[in-house]
Amino acid sequence: GEDVEQSLFLSVREGDSSVINCTYTDSSSTYLYWYKQEPGAGLQLLTYIFSNMDMKQDQRLTVLLNKKDKHLSLRIADTQTGDSAIYFCAERRWDYGGSQGNLIFGKGTKLSVKP
Amino acid sequence: AAGVIQSPRHLIKEKRETATLKCYPIPRHDTVYWYQQGPGQDPQFLISFYEKMQSDKGSIPDRFSAQQFSDYHSELNMSSLELGDSALYFCASSLEGTGSYEQYFGPGTRLTVT
């Protein structure tokens, strides 16, 4: 199957860490992405990781990958009110037949940051 | 840095009309993807082009067609519009030929069908 699953809501206090979780199903090597979408806006690429990596850190963002469980998480340190948005996990569909890889998205996690 | 440009940003059409959405990928990017995002939904892949050739199709209705031109811009043509076509349409581009798999999205075109 091609399901990417995420919890729908997360609420944290300003200054705390946020952890957004995602599971994917593709058993082959793939790329996994995190996008941020603010209301009425486009999708902003935050970071991505190849499935043979365990971790990737970029300033306040840390991505952890558990390949055995096909579990991906995005940790946002020192969460700010400006981080309030919907966060989408996405998996690249890998086709060795020559076509390029479109993304399969989860339903998105709405992060609310309370002051 | 240059981003993906989409036009128009907003479009209102009536049922059974046609619409054309335009996408200008990041310069030197060789791959364009079109996605549709319904209200409160996740983006769904429609169609993609690599080096001006159609490379893959997703859940794109037969009423829709797309092409990529010699200058790499792409257009999504939508005919016989239905109320259910109201959505945010995103274009994304990437540079696949060098093994870079970062897909950058444009701001989207919000299509409202009345």
Closest CA to B105 of B54, B37, B58: B37
- B107: nearest CB among A42, A48, A101: A42
Q: B69: how many CB neighbours lie within 10 A of its CB? A: 11
- Residue A97, pLDDT above cutoff 60: no
- Residue B9, pLDDT above cutoff 70: yes
Question: For A5-59, what is the HEC assignment?
Answer: EECCEEEEECCCCEEEEEECCCCCCCEEEEEEECCCCCEEEEEEEECCCCEEEEC
Q: Tell me the sheet residues that pair with A49.
A: A32
* Chain A residues close to B31, C-beta within 8 Å: 100
- Residue A115, pLDDT above cutoff 50: yes
Taking the CA of residue B15 and the nearest CA in chain A, the distance in Å comes to 23
Mutation target among A37, A47, A58, A102 for the B interface, most CBs of B within 10 A? A102
Indicate the burial class of A97 (C-beta count within 10 angstroms; 0-12, 13-18, 19 or more).
exposed
Indicate the burial class of A41 (C-beta count within 10 angstroms; 0-12, 13-18, 19 or more).
middle
Average pLDDT of the residues of chain A: 90
C-alpha span between B82 and B112 (Å, rounded): 10
Mutation target among B29, B42, B102 for the A interface, most CBs of A within 10 A? B42
- Whether B56 has its CB under 8 Å from any CB of chain A: the answer is yes
* Segment B57-99, tens digit of pLDDT: 998 999 999 999 999 999 999 999 999 999 999 999 998 877 7
Instruction: Indicate the pLDDT class of residue A98, thresholds 50, 70 and 90.
Output: low
- A102: nearest CB among B58, B106, B108: B58
C-alpha span between B6 and B66 (Å, rounded): 14
Residue B85: both structure tokens together? 């076509």
Cα dihedral B2/A109/A71/A28 (nearest 10): -50
Per-window interface: B 62-91 vs A, CB < 8 A: 90
* Chain B residues close to A46, C-beta within 8 Å: none
- Residue A1, pLDDT above cutoff 50: no
- B101: nearest CB among A35, A43, A101: A101
Query: A4-8, B9-13, B108-112: which range is least confident on average?
Result: A4-8
- A45: nearest CB among B56, B102, B107: B102
